[in-house]
Chain A
Amino acid sequence: MQHFPILSIVTLFLGAFLTVIFGSKNETVRKFIALVASSISLILVLMLIKPVMIKNNVIQYWLGNWRPIHDWAIGIGLEVDALGLFFGIIAVLTIFLSIIFSFKYTKKDSETDKYYVLFLMLSGAVLGLVFTGDLFNMFVMIEIMTFAAVGLTAFRNYQEGALEAAFKYLVLGSIGSSMVLAGTITIYSQVHTLNMAQISALLFNNLTPSALFAFALLLAGFSLKAFVVPFHPAAPDAYMSAPSSVSMAFSGMVNKAGVYAIIRLVYVLFHAMDFKSVQILLIIIGTITMFIGVTMALAQNDFKRLLAFHSISQIGYVITAVGVSTALGLTAGLYHALNHTLFKGLLFLTAGAIFYATGTTDLNKLGGLARKMPQTAAIFLIGAFSISGLPPFNGFVSKWLVYQATFQANLAPVTIIALLVSVMTLASFIKVAQSIFFGQMPKEFENVKEVPLSMRIPMWIMAILCVITGVLPNIVTKYLVSPAVTAALNIGKYIDLMMGNGYSEKILGKPIEIPAVDFTLAGYWDPIAWLVLFALLLIAVTIVAVAGGFNAVSLPTEVDDPKYDVFFSGEASEHSHVKGNDLFWGLKHDLRHYFGFMHDAHSGIINDYALWAIFTTTIFIVYIFLLVP
């Protein structure tokens, strides 16, 4: 049982190496190896739910059997507690569904063995990041993740802009990793150990200036991996150019690895959530991320670029909820992270299905595909309603918790901005649905068919999971989210289990008291009642439609009568599709100065993007030196 975490990481790496030897000529062999490796990993991680989450054990595992000597840690340790396992479950689910989707999706590409090798290494690195208990091991896993991600972004190098997106991602990712390394080294020179539990014990009440400098550098480095706002410009380019099954992995796994690292840093390593200034910093960054993400998304012309900006905006929700450091805030943040993987993965897979069927993702060229691809349209609508926060889907539950948490902490402006962002999200998804699925179809898409079955199965699985986590929030909270919140706030137990019992008492002098983790979901939210109401309305509409209440009388316009010619300038109009871009022209015209400024600021030049990153790091360093005592 204790070998399961390391085995689930090693299986993925072994699968990658075996694909190089055996899979370079034969296509069936490489698909078989990828499927077997990801299934074994999924089963091993799911079998860890019962001991870790339900019985509250923590698995600690010293590599090479180097146990601590004289209370000093000398080896690399893995520590799997409920917080790490929560993110691990999200990661393996994404890997498994993405590999099933990519069997048919990469049919037209050449050299797909390199695709599977890079993808398996990316997944092994993410699992290694969330299960480890050592700070330098985290840095190495971040580097492997960045390399695999850059390789996968440039995979389709005949596509417009894929190579420059990969180059920008590499430069910005390298700056972030260098800052993480500099922070690690500064911490090492202070405490002479690299184990996270021991660092947390030794830094308890003595935050010297070099520890504060390291905190600022580590926070900036991990924020760059999670793509929070001033560090974000490489993200839309990279999500747009990668193949869709890989974009789903980026927004589902790689972002969450950055969020996990921020939570581990701020809550466990530095105990920094007791300072009011750190809470305010996280809340300000989260709010700016939410707002800028969604306003940039309203003006986009490409489907996947729009989805990437929405992904940035939802991560802003998570960071804001984590910054409000009550138990309710942390529950809201973690629940929204789980929901975001599910509905954002669903939307990216829909984009992939449309690209497979029609060959383009430009919103100005598509239209009216709901008649030819009905299942894809239904799945897209489930995803769009989830992300906007409509009941009975899962977005409503987590956004309701975010509103409640920020309101109870006396932060009413943040609640108002969060509500506004929800409304604008719904607006931009109505624009996308009108552009792609409804309306009139251009002539060149006459032969479009529905996508094959092996691409539809992952989409249906994710849609069903969206509905389940929305309708049964009590079960999800009790079994998955609450153990993770308790593990994040209960630092004394983390230190004791890693270094032997009684260590935290010796160093810290007194046991750390555990804050009371109980909360009540206010309001009269009963999801079963909303589902019954929805079903009743659907039955009513169907009865009326069948009985003939919606038959509109339509006048033919191609009648050859010269008295109609004055309305059509002599010709009958053929194509009168209202494009999605025309739906909000009033809003875009009123705010044209803001939209023009933002369009010019995202200029595409790599020196500008590096300038934003370095400037924000400087502000972090100055803020933390001035305000944290």
Chain B
Amino acid sequence: MKMYSFTVAVAALFLLNQQQDAQNIIKKVEKNRYSDNKYVVSTMIIHGRRAVRKIKAKSWIKGEEKSFTEYISPARERGTKMLKIKDNLWMYSPSSDRIIRISGNMLRQSLMGSDLTYEDMMEDPVISSHYSSVILGDTIITNRKCWKIKLKARTEDVSYKKRIILVDKERFVILQDERYAKSGTLLRKVSVKKMEFIQGKWIATHIIFKDMLKRGKGTEFIINEIKYNVKIPSYRFSKSSLKR
């Protein structure tokens, strides 16, 4: 009996340790990822049933809650702008010169035909505050040594109940993120194909986002340019800036 209690106690301690370790890793990841103000130029490559489409956009991002994106090409999408503030998403289209809030069923639509939905775009909560984490073990992916960490939602209103992420042991970049449904079905998989060291930070510059229930190759994200700690005027994150 004593022996049993001891084992349980050691195991619990070990687990606690693991959790603390995991939390520390996550904090480091977020510190690496987090920047107050970012400016990003990115290309989204969509592998459609018929053709491959490349969509280029520039974004201004402030913290985790505010972002402003303007599409540059192709011509058809040029001038389309999107503003996200917390749980709200507005879209401006130059063709109609109107700002419309994307809500309800529209959120479930695919973003420009990609594997992402507008909803997915909205879902990127701060991991440490929404998830409890535990290290599952070590692994290697794309020749990088990683921790395999399980994330479990702390509250009931987080979109993905469970995530399994692989974190680069040296660079503290998430190299793979599997997002699971409440039932345990794998829904989305984000994998990093390339990392770069920019302005003193390691960041993922080539990402593949895949809706696991859909057929196809998934959608690629390539970061063409990134600047940290840029000055972003506050009007940028107002609805009126969508029409400018």
Same assembly? no
Instruction: Give the A-binding residues of B (Cβ under 8 A).
Output: none
